[in-house]
Structure 1
Amino acid sequence: MQDIAWEAPFCGEGNNCFRLGTDAEGNAYIAVAGHEDEYVTDTMDALRTLIRDIKAGKADHLL
């Protein structure tokens, strides 16, 4: 398993909480809090875009 450094959970109002993580190779990860073993990984730019959309309320239904 990757050595992923997870940040504190982010919880939107009325939504699932999710966590962001990174590894030593610069990969980015996102997972629903409590299910960090089931994550999505991509480039940091791709996940940054997804996270901005989630925080803006555009994609919270994906989690």
Structure 2
Amino acid sequence: MPDITWEAPFCAESSNCFRIGTDPDGNAYIAVSGQEDTYLTDTREALTTLIRDIKAGKADHLL
């Protein structure tokens, strides 16, 4: 498992929480809070765009 530094969880209005993390090589990760050992990885830019779209209500069905 890479050395991932996780940010504080982001929780929607319901009980859905997720976390964003990065590693020393600049890779970005996203995981359900509490299940950080099972994550998706992509570029930081791609995951940032995903999070912004979710916060803007464009993809709230994902939560």
TM-score scaled to structure 2, two decimals? Answer: 0.90
Once the two structures are TM-superposed, the CA of residue 9 in structure 1 deviates from its matched residue by 0.5
Please list every run of 5 or more consecutive structure 2 residues that lacks an aligned counterpart in the other structure: none
Q: Look up the equivalent residue of 1:35 and give its one-letter code.
A: Q
How many Å separate the matches in 1 of 2:61 and 2:2?
27
Once the two structures are TM-superposed, the CA of residue 19 in structure 1 deviates from its matched residue by 0.4
Report what 1:52 is aligned to.
52
How many Å separate the matches in 1 of 2:15 and 2:45?
23
Report what 2:39 is aligned to.
39
TM-score scaled to structure 1, two decimals? Answer: 0.90
- Aligned-partner SS, 1:40: strand
| Structure 1: 4+ residue segments shifted above 4 A | none
Q: Relative to structure 2, which stretch is displaced further, 8-17 or 42-51?
A: 8-17
Q: Look up the equivalent residue of 1:9 and give its one-letter code.
A: P
Once the two structures are TM-superposed, the CA of residue 62 in structure 1 deviates from its matched residue by 2.0
Report what 1:30 is aligned to.
30
